[in-house]
């Protein structure tokens, strides 16, 4: 593979795949994905999906693959990232590897099962045989790279008719030992027929080191099931983060996703869902806030493959300093997906003169009996509203914060988990002081 994009990764890959205890199907999947990554290479801005985001800062670094357990994170250090909630079912991964001593999964309710990926593929191969089937990597270099290096992550299985009382929280934390390292967490969430669950993924850090997180989460939402899926990206300020979620939805299911991105020097979040059963719906919301030199990119894709489905999408961005925000939302309606009802909104608030935003809402429609709209706006704080608050005796700085908060609140209020909503509202108020 001389000269190919895969070259810097060959040594680590050979070492990873030399472990004889790994099942053969995992090894062969890794090999195929690695080969594909070698062909694809890192995407360039000529690739339409990466038009506004150059990943050369990622590609220019060399990374050590963190295969072994490493790091030293105490429970107290995790406190800022747990939303002050108690009693959640939590799996903690330190520097990419499962840390059972920090996790709380001893008392899972009936119908809920969780594993770490590395033990799942030997213990419950029939559960994890969905891995690699939901997220495809043919045209996704980062998913290919993740598949080549998949080693650990959370596997969550909700049995049919189960209503899970509390959120399941997957925490991926890095500490200083992750410096110059790369992690490829791979998660699988399977929600059975008529089940209801909330899963939160957090990507956080106790350090300001440079590292790469390249996560992939595969989601299957069964017939009539509802999954609330939160992704909280609060990586170290110098980190790189690429996270892909691919969901497949059965008949009458509802997938509710919320993506928060406030961390990392450069981040990209992909949320893809396929409405593959009649009467299903998807709600994709998100909030990105950046300042300094941060670059934060979101790409969403909703494929309406069956009739009578709906999708609702609302993404908001607040950009300060010299930050750069990117949003690309695709809605694709198949010829047979009649009676589709789709709505997509992207609003951006620019707080500084040097902040920059690129947005590209995109509709591709092949069915005639559909109702699809999208809208995008870019603007600054409303001067009239600012004046109004000032005339009521509120000083300028606070008035700005309030208006910024009010802008973000429109999407934050869709969060149903109280602890998360309150924590994010507080964070929004405090972020742009």
Partner 1 sequence: MSSSIETLISREYQHGFVTDIESDTMPAGLSEDVVRAISEKKSEPAFMVEWRLKAYRRWLSMKEPHWPNVTYGPIDYQATSYYSAPKTKTPLGSIDDVDPELLKTYAKLGIPLYEQKMLAGVAVDAIFDSVSVGTTMREELAKHGIIFCSFGEALREHPELVEKYLGSVVPYSDNFFAALNSAVFSDGSFVYVPKGVRCPVELSTYFRINSADTGQFERTLIIADEGAYVSYLEGCTAPKRSTNQLHAAVVELVALKGATIKYSTVQNWYAGDKEGRGGIYNFVTKRGKAAENAKISWTQVETGSAITWKYPSVILQGDNSVGEFYSVAVVNNKQQADTGTKMIHIGRNTKSTIVSKGISAGEGNNSYRGRVQVLPRATGARNYTQCDSMLVGNRCGAHTFPYIEVGNNSAIVEHEASTSKIGEDQIFYLKQRGLSAEQAVSMIVSGFCKEVFKELPMEFALEAQALLGITLEGSVG
Q: Please, which residue, 377 or 396, has the CB nearer to partner 1?
A: 377
CB nearer partner 1, residue 159 or residue 367: 367
Query: Distance between CA 158 and CA 220 in Å, rounded?
Result: 10
Nearer to partner 1 among residue 264 and residue 350 (C-beta): 350
**Cβ closer to partner 1: 253 or 311?**
311
Please report how close the Cβ of residue 281 comes to partner 1 at its closest, in angstroms.
Answer: 18
Nearer Cβ to partner 1 (79/397)? 397
> Cα separation of 18 and 419, whole Å?
44
Q: Which residue in this structure is represented by tokens 């001893």?
A: 106
Cβ proximity to partner 1: between 27 and 338 the closer is 338
Q: How far is the CB of 295 from partner 1 (least distance, A)?
A: 14
- Comparison of 238 and 322: residue with beta carbon closer to partner 1: 322
CB 296 within 8 A of CB 328: no
Nearest residue to 282 (alpha-carbon basis) of 231, 248, 259, 333: 248
Closest approach of Cβ 414 to partner 1, in Å?
21
CB 249, min distance to partner 1, A: 22
**207 or 344: CB nearest partner 1:** 344
Looking at the Cβ atoms of 77 and 341, the one nearer to partner 1 is 341
* Contact assessment for residue 333 and residue 304, using Cβ atoms and an 8 Å cutoff: yes
Closest CB 328 distance from partner 1, rounded Å: 9
Q: Tell the smallest beta-carbon distance from residue 173 to partner 1 (Å).
A: 34
Site residues for partner 1 per CB under 8 A:
48, 51-52, 335, 338, 348, 350-380
- For the CB of residue 264, give the shortest distance to partner 1 in the complex, in Å: 22
Shortest Cβ distance from residue 338 to partner 1 (Å)?
A: 7
Shortest distance, CB of residue 228 to partner 1, whole angstroms?
Answer: 28
Provide the phi-psi class of 87: left if phi over 0, else alpha when psi is between -120 and 50, else beta.
left
Cα gap 351→294, rounded to integer Å: 14
- CB of 8 or CB of 375, closer to partner 1: 375
Report, in Å, the least distance between residue 317 CB and partner 1. 11
Q: What does the alpha-carbon distance between residue 230 and residue 417 come to, in Å, rounded to a whole number?
A: 10
Q: Which residue has the tokens 């509710």?
A: 256
Name the residue nearer to partner 1 (CB basis): 192 or 361.
361
Give the separation between CA 190 and CA 159, rounded to whole angstroms: 8
Nearest distance, CB of residue 305 and partner 1, angstroms: 14
- Those residues whose C-beta lies under 8 Å from the C-beta of residue 159, and which sit 6 or more positions away, are 110, 111, 112, 113, 192, 195
Distance CA 412, CA 423 (A): 10
């Amino acid at each position: 593979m001389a000269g190919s994009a895969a070259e810097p990764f060959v040594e680590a890959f050979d070492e990873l795949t030399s472990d004889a205890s790994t099942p053969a199907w995992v090894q062969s999947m890794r090999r195929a994905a690695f080969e594909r990554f070698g062909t694809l290479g890192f995407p360039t801005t000529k690739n339409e999906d990466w038009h506004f985001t150059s990943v050369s800062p990622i590609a220019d670094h060399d990374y050590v693959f963190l295969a072994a357990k490493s790091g030293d994170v105490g429970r107290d250090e995790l406190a800022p990232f747990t939303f002050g909630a108690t009693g959640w079912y939590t799996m903690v991964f330190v520097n990419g590897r499962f840390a059972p001593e920090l996790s709380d999964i001893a008392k899972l309710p009936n119908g809920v099962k969780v594993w770490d990926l590395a033990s799942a593929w030997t213990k419950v191969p029939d559960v994890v045989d969905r891995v690699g089937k939901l997220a495809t990597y043919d045209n996704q270099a980062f998913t290919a790279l993740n598949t080549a290096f998949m080693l650990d992550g959370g596997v969550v299985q909700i049995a049919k008719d189960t209503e899970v009382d509390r959120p399941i929280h997957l925490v991926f934390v890095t500490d200083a030992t992750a410096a110059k390292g790369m992690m490829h967490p791979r998660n699988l969430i399977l929600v059975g027929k008529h089940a209801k669950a909330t899963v939160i993924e957090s990507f956080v850090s106790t350090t300001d080191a440079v590292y790469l997180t390249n996560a992939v989460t595969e989601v299957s939402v069964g017939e009539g099931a509802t999954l609330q899926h939160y992704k909280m990206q609060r990586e170290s300020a110098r980190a790189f983060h690429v996270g892909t979620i691919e969901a497949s939805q059965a008949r009458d299911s509802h997938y509710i996703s919320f993506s928060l991105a406030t961390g990392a020097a450069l981040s990209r979040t992909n949320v893809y869902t396929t409405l593959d059963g009649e009467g299903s719906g998807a709600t994709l919301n998100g909030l990105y806030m950046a300042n300094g030199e941060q670059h934060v990119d979101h790409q969403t894709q909703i494929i309406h493959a069956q009739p009578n489905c709906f999708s609702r999408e609302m993404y908001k961005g607040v950009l300060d300093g010299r930050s750069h925000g990117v949003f690309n939302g695709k809605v694709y309606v198949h010829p047979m997906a009649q009676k589709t009802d789709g709505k997509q909104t992207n609003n951006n608030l620019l707080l500084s003169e040097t902040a920059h935003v690129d947005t590209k809402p995109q509709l591709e429609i092949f069915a005639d009996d559909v109702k699809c709209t999208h809208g995008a706006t870019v603007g600054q704080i409303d001067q009239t509203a600012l004046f109004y608050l000032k005339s009521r005796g509120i000083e300028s700085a606070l008035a700005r914060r309030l208006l910024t908060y009010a802008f973000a609140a429109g999407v934050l209020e869709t969060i149903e988990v109280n602890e998360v909503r309150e924590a994010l509202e507080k964070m929004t108020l405090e972020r742009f002081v």
